[in-house]
Structure 1
Amino acid sequence: MTLKKLFYWFWSTLALGGVTALVLAFVLEILVGQKMFGDITQQLLLSLTLAAVAELGFFAYLVFNFLAKGLIRNKLGYDVTMLVLTVIILGNLVYLNAVKFSGESFWLHLLIPFIILLTALIVAKLKEKSTNVSAYIPTLFFMVAATILEAIPSINSKAGEIPLLIIFHSVVVLLVCNAWQILQLHRWIKPPAKISQTK
């Protein structure tokens, strides 16, 4: 990845996350009919923070993926490991909601794992079409694992229960940023084409 592409990755993800968060906050506040995300300054800080968290998560995934492929040389073993980890992390999120919430609130909070899984399946399929079939499972793992781990401060806040719409807002912004990063990765790391000069 060239320095130019590195800067593009950083600023494009930051801008996409910021715009997505601001637009989504505006729409949700109109639907609910009350201020939930503070003034424009607070919304901007929140949006940029979420985008920055997504970037850190993406970088951590790249390091993890590099180390995992070094330890697990067999492609089948690697894919099985990624699938098992995906199921465990998604299962833990469902369990966390089952323990923390009950009744109607529990079923509403199950929308979050469902949205994450559905988005991950769609993005993984798009990645497969853009590159090759071997990219499906790593993309699925990244979209599920990275998004859930990045969203943990919102989902399991020690400050008390956070309104579902705020959790939804955070998760959607993280999903958008993560989808953008993983779908563009093969373009960013693609070596520049050599220009052949003919005399």
Structure 2
Amino acid sequence: MNTRNWVKFFITTLCIGGAVTVLTGFIIRWKDFRPFFQSFDVLEILSSAFWLFCIGLLFSAVSQMGFFAYLTLHRIGLGIFRSLWNPVQILFLAFALFDLVYFRYRLFAAENEGIFPYLAVALLILLYGILVAYFKMKQSDKETFVPALFFMVVVTVIEWLPALRNNDPNWLQLMIYPLLVCNTYQLLSLPAYLERSQKEREERKKRKEGSGMKPLPPKKAQKV
């Protein structure tokens, strides 16, 4: 990916994270914000939206760090495990889901509280990950299903750890939705940015050839 498209990718993801956090924050804390809307206090509404947007930028930055870290991990995993990399990812996926349910239940469950709410959270994240991985598979090929599922579940849970440790319901919801949306956007839109960068390199090569300049050898776009 060239620098211009990387900047577009970065800024777009930031804006998505900020916008989703503003929307999520107003919904989950509607009781706190409702008086501002009822009295049409524009200053309070804008200041609250700005604060939520800034928090969303932070969540988006965490999402992007996790995404590029996974891209590196994926290449290393393919180099080390080769054809066994997908089974290894499935194993780690199972461990991550188990830990998300078991340790949260052991640490935060009230007396006589059932395990179902903790199990439901893990199940919903898994189902959403399967849905995104399905679209990713349709976008490219079947080999991308497991890596996409691993990223959407395991990496998202790792990125979610600050809120998981706090275990505040508002912060859990405020963080998970931007993470899921940003991770989905990055996973599904990156090939388009790579393709656009490749086309721009080819067009630049043609212009150089037309002007008599010797072009640099093209870089092969990496499949994601």
TM-score after normalising by structure 2:
0.77
Instruction: Tell me, yes or no, if structure 1 residue 53 matches structure 2 residue 62.
Output: yes
Residues 121-147 of structure 1, C-alpha deviations (whole Å, 9 max, x = no match)? 100000011111111000000001110
**Deviation at residue 170 of structure 1 after TM alignment:** 0.8
Percent identity among equivalent residues?
26
1:24 corresponds in structure 2 to 24
Instruction: Tell me, yes or no, if structure 1 residue 91 matches structure 2 residue 98.
Output: yes
1:150-165 equivalences under 5 Å are 150-157=159-166, 161-162=167-168, 164-165=169-170
Stretch deviating more after TM superposition (64-73 or 145-154)? 64-73
Q: Read off the aligned partner of 1:73 and give its amino acid letter.
A: R
**Deviation at residue 172 of structure 1 after TM alignment:** 1.1
Q: Read off the aligned partner of 2:132 and give its amino acid letter.
A: V
Cα pair distance change 1:106/1:41, threshold 3 Å: farther
1:1-199 equivalences under 5 Å are 1-30=1-30, 33-34=31-32, 39-74=48-83, 77-102=84-109, 103-104=112-113, 106-157=115-166, 161-162=167-168, 164-190=169-195, 191-192=198-199, 194=202
**Deviation at residue 106 of structure 1 after TM alignment:** 4.6
Secondary structure of 2:32's counterpart equals coil
1:54 & 1:138 partners in 2: Cα distance? 16
**Deviation at residue 61 of structure 1 after TM alignment:** 0.5
1:156 & 1:10 partners in 2: Cα distance? 27
The alignment yields a C-alpha RMSD, in angstroms, of 2.0
1:22 & 1:48 partners in 2: Cα distance? 10
Q: Read off the aligned partner of 1:174 and give its amino acid letter.
A: L
Q: Read off the aligned partner of 2:108 and give its amino acid letter.
A: F
TM-score after normalising by structure 1:
0.86
1:113 & 1:85 partners in 2: Cα distance? 14
1:43 & 1:109 partners in 2: Cα distance? 26
Unaligned runs of 5+ in 1: none
1:105 & 1:42 partners in 2: Cα distance? 35
CA contact (8 A) 1:120 1:140 kept: yes
2:51 & 2:161 partners in 1: Cα distance? 20
Residues 12-71 of structure 1, C-alpha deviations (whole Å, 9 max, x = no match)? 1000000011011112222xx235xx9334312211110110011011101101111111
CA contact (8 A) 1:97 1:110 kept: no
Count of residues in correspondence between the two structures: 187
Unaligned runs of 5+ in 2: 34-46, 208-224
CA contact (8 A) 1:13 1:51 kept: yes
Decide which structure has the larger Cα Rg and report it.
2
2:61 & 2:187 partners in 1: Cα distance? 15
Q: Read off the aligned partner of 2:97 and give its amino acid letter.
A: L
Q: Read off the aligned partner of 1:138 and give its amino acid letter.
A: P
1:73 & 1:137 partners in 2: Cα distance? 14
